[in-house]
Amino acid sequence: MAEQTEIRAPMAGKVVSIEINIGDKVDEDDELVILESLKMETPVYSPGTGTVADIKVKNGDYIEEDDLLLVLE
């Protein structure tokens, strides 16, 4: 089984855009999800290369800091 990397929310806010789909290959620093907090949009970037194994949020979800957003393999 491939090593998994959990991508967690750096802050509380609202998911305004999911830039990837399950099965997509991503590289380091690719935008994965865009969060909105205090009227500012903040992208969440990939920490490395991998494949999107699971997406745990959807557009419009309100999340808390450290909530699981997605999993890379």
- 1 vs 18: which has the higher pLDDT: 18
CATH number at 5-72: 2.40.50.100
Buried b / exposed e along 9-32 (16+ C-beta atoms within 10 A): beeebebeebebeeeeebeeebeb
- For 3-17, what is each residue's pLDDT tens digit? 899 999 999 999 999
- For 31-57, what is each residue's pLDDT tens digit? 999 999 999 999 999 999 999 999 999
- 34 vs 2: which has the higher pLDDT: 34
Residue 1 has pLDDT above 70, yes or no: no
pTM of the model: 0.92
DSSP state of 1: -
- Output the furthest CA–CA distance in the chain (Å, rounded): 40
